[in-house]
Amino acid sequence: MPLSVFSIMKTESIKTYVSAIIAMALFQVMSAQVLSPGNKPEMMFGDTSRTGFPFSKDPHVIHFGGRYLLYYSIPAYAGKVNSIPDWGIGIAESTDLVNWKKCGEITPSETYEKMGLCAPCAIVIDGRVNLFYQTYGNGRNDAICHAASDDGINFTRNESNPVFRPDGSWNCGRAIDAEVTFFKGSYYLYYATRDPDYKIQMQGVAVAPALTDFGRDDWKNLSVEGPILKPELQWEQDCIEGASVIKKGRKLYMFYAGAYNNAPQQVGVAVSRDAVSWKRLSESPFLANGKPGEWNSSESGHPHIFRDPDGSTYLFFQGNNDKGKTWYISKVQVKWNRKGPYLRHQ
């Protein structure tokens, strides 16, 4: 090997090592506040494998194969070089919904996702895990993709990927933050998109028949004329995204993120009887960001509502107190009454 090539590789290795050391030092300083006694929730998961400090976003949980699986977004490696993938999806497993151990990753492998992939949604159908995710880093061209797995770890891409991008003059053609739910004999795909000026984030919905492989030709956009939900309340600012939907009785409840990351982003709830028309339950956030000094003072965002096999429901969400330098995933239990969902401590 020529000395000059060896020197370049050695220099890159040193840079990567130094970056990791600096990152860990910064994390140790920040963790004195983040993990202080009385400030840490029961569950606080952060993947350190890529950056050296906790960074996990966009949670989605399922129960599969006798354990819980958590899918989440992970960023590029610290000291990234061209041969290392950008954003990907991490997978962690748990037996108690509190303690999680990383057990896999989904990284870019196709041309359409070469810039990265993230924001997973997983649903179990006939003993298989169906994963919906978005491409990353393509601006207006980001779209929703689909893959399936027999073990929840190794996935096969849908041959028609990307499977969905919206039409209609009200949006920019982008689709992110997929959420798929089965309701009244059809699969509904909720997605976030932006206006043509690329400033306002809104929610749309598409539908596919019960007998579908989730391929591109099976999806029909129901939001051709306009969004099903757009920011209107002061706390929602310029963004509604990250929808997560659960069926309760004859209704659907949508937990959504209002405002962009760290603005602060907070969680709201809307209700629907037909999966298309939605009404907010309150003008205030359902789950607000934390108080100054608390672990989630910068935001409580990107929710996922999960129903455990025992019937309990939990709201998973992302948060931090340093404007996005770190990202943790946590959860709170959600209770229900005639008016809808409420938090256990209320």
Q: Give the CATH number of the domain where residue 300 resides.
A: 2.115.10.20
* Residue 87: alpha-carbon gap to chain centroid: 12
CA distance 185 to 189: 13
User: pLDDT for 240-293, tens place per residue?
Assistant: 999 999 999 999 999 999 999 999 999 999 999 999 999 999 999 999 999 999
The tally of domains found in the chain comes to: 1
State the maximum Cα–Cα separation within the chain, in Å, rounded to a whole number: 74
* Residue 109: alpha-carbon gap to chain centroid: 20
pLDDT less than 50: residues of the chain? 1-37, 346
* Residue 345: alpha-carbon gap to chain centroid: 25
Task: Tell me how crowded residue 110 is: count the other CB atoms within 10 A of its CB.
Answer: 13
Residue 116's pLDDT is 96
Task: Tell me how crowded residue 271 is: count the other CB atoms within 10 A of its CB.
Answer: 16
Domain that holds residue 244: 3-343
Residue 328's pLDDT is 98
Residues paired with residue 70 on neighbouring β-strands, in sequence order: 61, 92
